[in-house]
C-alpha cells in the first residue's frame, strides 16, 4: 500500500540543545496512528515539520509522494493547503466569523474551485453535526467549535490529517467521543491520520501507536492494543 507520510533521518534542533530525532516514520494510505509522549518532548514540533510549517535541519519529510523538505516556504504553504488538514488543540478558529466562513478560509488554498467551495464547506459541517452553518463560532459550545475545526481540516479532502493534542482539555468520555469524530471524519475523505496525545487510554482507538521519549527521539513501535 502506498505511503501517505514517509519520514527519514529527520533532525530538528531548538532550545538549549534539544534535538528532535526521527530515523523512520511511515503512514500507509488511510492509516490512523497515535503519537504519544510527555509534554515538551517535541510531538507538536514534529507535526509542524510534517505540515511544512518548519523546515527540518536534515532528513526528508515526504507527504503524498512529495518531499516537502525540498520546497520553498511559499510552495510548502500551497502544498499544505492542498494535501494536509490540521486540527489544533486550541482550534484556531476566527472569532466573530461563522462556522461556514471558517471552513471557507481553510478551502482557500485547497485546489477546490471557488464556485464549489460553499457547497463543500456546508457538506463538511453537516456531516459533523453542524446544521447551523451560519452561526458564529464564538456563540458555539466547545464541542461544536471542535467539530468546526475538524470540518475545516477535512473539507478539502486532504491526504493527511494532523491532530495536535485534540483531547488535552477534555474529560475521558468526551476525549473518546472527540477521537471517534476525528477518525470518522478522516475516514470519510480517505485521509491518513497522525494524532498526538499524552493520554494512554486513547491507544485502542488507533491502528498503531508510536512513542517519543522526553529527549525528542521516536522510539520503537508499540502495539495499539
* Contact assessment for residue 80 and residue 51, using Cβ atoms and an 8 Å cutoff: yes
Q: What is the pLDDT of residue 94?
A: 96
> For position 162, what pLDDT does the model report?
98
Would you list the domain boundaries of the chain?
Answer: 3-93+158-211
Contact between residue 182 and residue 160 where contact means Cβ atoms under 8 Å apart: no
pLDDT tens-digit map of 75-113: 999 999 999 999 998 899 999 999 999 999 999 989 899
**In terms of residues, how long is the chain?**
225
**C-alpha neighbours within 13 Å on the C-beta side of residue 143:** 14
Reported as a single tens digit per residue, the pLDDT across 51-74 is: 999 999 999 999 999 999 899 999
Half-sphere exposure of 140 (CA within 13 A, CB side): 26
Predicted pLDDT of residue 221 = 61
What gap in Å lies between CA 185 and CA 190, rounded to an integer?
Answer: 9
Dist. CA 45–CA 136, nearest whole Å: 31
Phi, psi of 35 (to 5 degrees): -110, 115
1-12 pLDDT tens trace: 679 999 999 999
| Arithmetic mean of pLDDT over the chain | 93
Instruction: Please tell me the class of the 3-93+158-211 domain.
Output: alpha beta
Amino acid at each position: 500500500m502506498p505511503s501517505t507520510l514517509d519520514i527519514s533521518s529527520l533532525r530538528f534542533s531548538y532550545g538549549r540543545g534539544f534535538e528532535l530525532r526521527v530515523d523512520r516514520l511511515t503512514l500507509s494510505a488511510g492509516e490512523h496512528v497515535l503519537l504519544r509522549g510527555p509534554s515538551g518532548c517535541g510531538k507538536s514540533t514534529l507535526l509542524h515539520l510534517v505540515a511544512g510549517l518548519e523546515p527540518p535541519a536534515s532528513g526528508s519529510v515526504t507527504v503524498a509522494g512529495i518531499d516537502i523538505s525540498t520546497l520553498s516556504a511559499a510552495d510548502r504553504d500551497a502544498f499544505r493547503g492542498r494535501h494536509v488538514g490540521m486540527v489544533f488543540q486550541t482550534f484556531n478558529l476566527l472569532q466573530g466569523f461563522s462556522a461556514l466562513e471558517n471552513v471557507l478560509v481553510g478551502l482557500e488554498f485547497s485546489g477546490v474551485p471557488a464556485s464549489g467551495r460553499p457547497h463543500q464547506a456546508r457538506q463538511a459541517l453537516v456531516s459533523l453535526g453542524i446544521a447551523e452553518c451560519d452561526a458564529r463560532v464564538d456563540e458555539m459550545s466547545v464541542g461544536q467549535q471542535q467539530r468546526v475545526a475538524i470540518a475545516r481540516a477535512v473539507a478539502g479532502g486532504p491526504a493527511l490529517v494532523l491532530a495536535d493534542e485534540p483531547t488535552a482539555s477534555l474529560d475521558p468520555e468526551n476525549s473518546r467521543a472527540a477521537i471517534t469524530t476525528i477518525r470518522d471524519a478522516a475516514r470519510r475523505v480517505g485521509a491518513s491520520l497522525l494524532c498526538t496525545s499524552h493520554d494512554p487510554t486513547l491507544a485502542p482507538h488507533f491502528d498503531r501507536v508510536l512513542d517519543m521519549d522526553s529527549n525528542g527521539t521516536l522510539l520503537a513501535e508499540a502495539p495499539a492494543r
